[in-house]
Amino acid sequence: MINMKWYHYVTAFFAGMFLANAVPHFVNGVSGNPFPSPFADPPGKGLSVPIVNVLWGLFNIVIGYLLYRYSKINSQNKMSVLVFFLGIVAISIMLSIVFLDKAKM
């Protein structure tokens, strides 16, 4: 079993967050749909063009992957997998609340 320090769990959590955040940006971008991003006006509220969302999604994938590798997530260490999925759950719930307003428009 791989020995994990406390900061490996923190990076596992953020790896889950970055990888889950990549999904809506990348999917909307490659589908040609405008979607909110940090680069919109106003940030996170306005819509960004699809290419910006593709690039933002790819950036999130790269950072999420690097954090995943650094965190030493391992199926033998169930806690590391749980913390990774908690990161996915946390950002997914937050994003569903943020984008709820967009769905009502």
Q: Note the pLDDT tens digit of each residue in 16-59.
A: 999 999 999 999 999 999 999 999 998 878 899 999 999 999 99
With respect to residue 40, please indicate whether it lies within any of the assigned structural domains. Answer: yes
- Cβ burial of 51 (10 Å; 0-12, 13-18, 19+) is exposed
Q: Does 1 map to a domain?
A: no
For 44-101, the pLDDT digits (tens) are 788 999 999 999 999 999 999 999 999 999 889 999 999 999 999 999 999 998 888 6
Query: Is residue 91 in a domain?
Result: yes
Please tell me the total count of domains within the chain: 1
Q: CB of 53 within 8 A of CB of 25? A: yes
Cis peptide before 42 (omega within 30 of 0): yes
Q: Is residue 60 part of a domain?
A: yes
Q: Which domain holds residue 80?
A: 6-99
Residue 104, pLDDT > 60, answer no
Q: Considering the domain boundaries, does residue 17 fall inside one? A: yes
